[in-house]
Amino acid sequence: MQRFAGSKTLLVIGAVTFLSLLGTAVSDPIRPLFIVNVGSTTFELGLIMALQSLVSVLTRVPASALSDKLGRWRLMLFSLVLSVGTTALFAFVYEPIWFFPIVALSAISWSTFSVISFVIASDLSTTATRGTIMGIYFTAIGASLLVGPLLCSLLILFIGFRELFLVSTFFPLLALILFAFVANRSEIDMPSIGAAMNVDRVSTVLGSIYRVFRIKNVVAMYYAQVAFAISFGVFSTLFSIYAEGSLRITPSIIALLFSVRAFTNLLIRLPAGRVSDRIGRRRPVIISHAIFVVVFALLPFTRNLAILGLLIALYGVGWGMRVAPDAALVSESVASADRPIALAILMTMFDVGIALGSLMVGVSAMYLSIPDLFFLCAPILLSGLLALIYFTRETLNL
């Protein structure tokens, strides 16, 4: 296997990322069902599901800037402690109102951790290896999205929703222990490429944002990210409820369908990153968005479980195909000094889209059926696909 500078650091970050996200991934398939069972209306469900992303929108970019002052190691440690607490607290919610503060704190935890770990992985790469390293990093995330639903599918046969949240607390706790005792603090706090090279020391966060949004390539990528995330938010909020209520699928099988999506997602991530190092970033990204259009155009009309499973698997392929090339293309479209902010904004655009999708569910639930909302995502995704085709190009690192 090819060796990279800082490979030990990358391994630790990947393992901690996997375990931290696994705590959430175990409960993801049944979380909307649990929120509704506690007594939330569809409108409240939309707000609760949107809150995670809304809080992340407000915290990702500040967290990226704050990490340079307080240190990445400290902020990541703080986020992991918070993750352990919020994961456990879900088990003790008996009134819907308490979901709001718990979800908000959970969002602060993940947004802080994810943006810092993302930038560390990017700093360990070069133009020649960025697709591969991003693929490795996102494979750790994809692995948690596969293992989590599989565990959910098994555990939910024997324990209730509340017990499932308590069991899932073990994983962020293990991530906290691993990070505190194994992570090399000096390597974690290594300054970003821009800072290390003393590039544009007078640049401010607002200055970086201004420069980033002047690049047509990046703006088109951000728009496509929002379009994808809107559909993701709609799917995450409604699919479990739709599958149980309209398709009569049990929670265990619903979790298994999430595992199918996660499996194909994980399977394609690293190969897509490596392929993009050879053929360019645009083509994998464009193909992935075309897949999303097809999936959401067909999803409302699919009631056969086998065909539904194929669509979900295809959804995972599209999702996994885009993540590493997306990050690599944005990284290579901006100056190195602006890269941390550009990547933080890319993740923030995902949060913006999920929030819009979840809010769309809450507001439109009384007017549109769930299949209608799924179908509405298809033209939204198509607009993102057209933006990628007409407004992006391959770029060299600046």
Share of the chain above pLDDT 70, in %: 90
Q: Is 203 helix (H, G, I), strand (E, B) or coil?
A: coil
| Residue 336 forms part of a structural domain | yes
Does 380 score more than 70 pLDDT? yes
Name the residue with higher pLDDT: 228 or 185. Answer: 228
80-94, 166-180, 190-204: segment of lowest average pLDDT: 190-204
Burial annotation 359-371 (CB, 10 A radius, 16+ → b, else e):
bbbbebbeeeebb
The answer to whether residue 267 is domain-embedded is yes
pLDDT of residue 9: 73
- Tell me what pLDDT residue 74 has: 84
Q: How does the average pLDDT of the chain come out, rounded?
A: 86
Say yes or no to pLDDT of 104 above 70. Answer: yes
Question: What pLDDT, on a 0 to 100 scale, did the predictor assign at position 182?
Answer: 81
Report the pLDDT averaged over residues 283-294: 94
pLDDT tens-digit map of 25-39: 999 999 999 999 999
**Is position 397 within any domain?**
no
Looking at residue 125, its pLDDT comes to 64
Q: How confident is the model at residue 1 (pLDDT cuts 50, 70, 90)?
A: very low
> In the structure, what pLDDT confidence band is assigned to residue 395 with cuts at 50, 70 and 90?
low
- pLDDT(6) > 60: no
201 — pLDDT class (breaks 50, 70, 90): very low
Cα separation, 14 vs 320, in Å, equals: 17
**pLDDT band, very low/low/confident/very high, at 338 (cuts 50, 70, 90):** confident
Predicted pLDDT at 58: 84
Q: What is the pLDDT confidence band of residue 7, given thresholds at 50, 70 and 90?
A: low
pLDDT at 118 over 90: no
The confidence score (pLDDT) of residue 373 equals: 94
2 within some domain: no
What pLDDT is attached to residue 166?
A: 95
142: confidence class by pLDDT, cuts 50, 70, 90: confident
* Listed range (135-139, 193-197, 216-220) with the worst mean pLDDT: 193-197
CA distance 146 to 264: 9
195 lies in which domain range?
7-391
Answer yes or no: is 357 within a domain. yes
DSSP 3-state of 365: coil
What average pLDDT score do residues 124-134 get? Answer: 67
Q: How confident is the model at residue 200 (pLDDT cuts 50, 70, 90)?
A: very low
Q: How many structural domains does the chain have? A: 1
| In-domain check, residue 28 | yes
CATH number at 134 reads 1.20.1250.20
DSSP H helices, the chain, are 7-25, 31-38, 42-70, 72-89, 99-123, 130-155, 161-168, 170-182, 185-188, 193-196, 205-212, 216-245, 251-279, 282-298, 305-331, 339-364, 370-391
Write out the DSSP string of 118-165.
HHHHHHT--TTTHHHHHHHHHHHHHHHHHHHHHHHHHHTTTS-HHHHH
pLDDT at 194 over 50: no
Query: What pLDDT is recorded for position 131?
Result: 66
Average pLDDT over residues 308-326: 92
Average of pLDDT values for 6-28?
A: 85
Residue 85 class from Cβ within 10 Å (0-12 exposed, 13-18 middle, 19+ buried)?
middle
- Mean pLDDT in residue range 224-238: 94
Q: Do the domain assignments include residue 398? A: no
Identify whether 308 is part of a domain. yes
Q: Does pLDDT of 3 surpass 90?
A: no
Q: For 117-126, 143-152, 197-206, 357-366, which range has the lowest pLDDT when averaged over its residues?
A: 197-206
pLDDT in tens, 249-284: 999 999 999 999 989 988 888 888 888 888 888 899
